[in-house]
Amino acid sequence: MKNFKTLAAGEIFTADYEVKKSVFLANVSHVETEESAREFLNQIRKKYFDATHNCSAWILGETGDKQKSNDDGEPGGTAGNPILDAIKKNELTNICVVVTRYFGGIKLGAGGLIRAYSHTAALGIAAAKIVRMTTFQKIAVTVEYSFLAQIENFLRNKKISVANAEYAADVTLNLLLEPVDVDNFLAELTELTAANFLAETQGEVLIPVNL
């Protein structure tokens, strides 16, 4: 799995910008598929159905390999690409940005449009909650109850996340560690308990970490 930066899910982030009586509105959302990106774009188009333009760009995938931009009637390269560039500058993926324009009667020229769309997109991204999708190794550690308090204190000091605990004849703690920390953690746990534990790795998972 590859770590990457994206937006917190479940919220639309907004910003606005005005230049020469034209009003630009940014709406920014976390998306994970082209279908969800199109749905978000259509949602914004319906909301601002009376706008002059609803220009957009999105980047998808852990490596950001799926990219698309749309000028929506603005001169070629003056809207969609500047929005896309704003996303790239922030090294984000799984994100869709829609910049809506209400024309104010004064033409901005190609350079002015590029600056306005780029700036509005950047404002929308700046208003968003950015997270890093981080790879964690899932490890199940099973110990006797006599070691539980000692191990729980050890985990607290190390700030290691316990996803959940299973209580049976012994107790199993389901932990989340960054892969680079696993070997050192197991070595320290071996020393702490004189190897009186059983550890089982259970694959990796991507978890959002606030930046």
For the chain, give every domain's residue range: 4-128, 134-210
| 38/69 Cα distance (integer angstroms) | 11
What is the DSSP secondary structure assignment for residue 171, as one 8-state letter? E
Q: Which CATH superfamily is domain 4-128 in?
A: Impact, N-terminal domain (3.30.230.30)
The fold for domain 134-210 equals: Alpha-Beta Plaits (3.30.70)
Neighbour-count burial of 199, counting CB atoms closer than 10 A to its CB (0-12 exposed, 13-18 middle, 19+ buried) = middle
User: pTM for this one?
Assistant: 0.88
78 phi and psi, to 5 degrees? -95, -10
CA dist list (Å): 35 to 43, 67, 94, 122, 148? 12, 13, 12, 24, 47
Q: For residue 9, how far is the Cα from the chain centroid?
A: 7
- pLDDT in 10s for each residue of the chain, 211 residues: 789 999 999 999 999 999 999 999 999 999 999 999 999 999 999 999 999 999 999 999 999 999 999 999 999 999 999 999 999 999 999 999 999 999 999 999 999 999 999 999 999 999 999 999 999 999 999 999 999 999 999 999 999 989 999 999 999 999 999 999 999 999 999 999 999 999 999 999 999 999 8
| 51/71 Cα distance (integer angstroms) | 14
